[in-house]
């Protein structure tokens, strides 16, 4: 919601008002989040598996 708000408010004024650098950082965060979450889940699973075997 915040990401859409940042891009949307800037776009309603004019495209040059959009802070494209912030938009790029948001997209990078989206791309990094899923693999990072998967890596953390795998690590926790590996650590916890011996406790439940």
Q: What is the pLDDT of residues 5-52, one digit of tens each?
A: 767 766 677 777 777 887 788 889 889 999 999 999 999 999 999 998
Say if CB 10 and CB 18 are below 8 A apart.
Answer: yes
- How do the domains of the chain map onto residue ranges? 2-52
pTM of the model: 0.57
What's the chain's average pLDDT?
84
H or E stretch covering 11: helix 2-13
3-state DSSP call for residue 19?
Answer: coil
SS3 content of the chain, % helix, strand, coil (to 5): 90, 0, 10
């Amino acid at each position: 919601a915040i990401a859409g708000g940042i891009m949307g408010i800037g776009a309603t004024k004019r495209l040059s008002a959009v802070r494209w650098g912030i938009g790029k950082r948001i997209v990078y965060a989206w791309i990094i989040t899923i693999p990072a979450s998967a890596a953390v889940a795998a690590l926790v699973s590996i650590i916890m598996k011996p406790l439940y075997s």
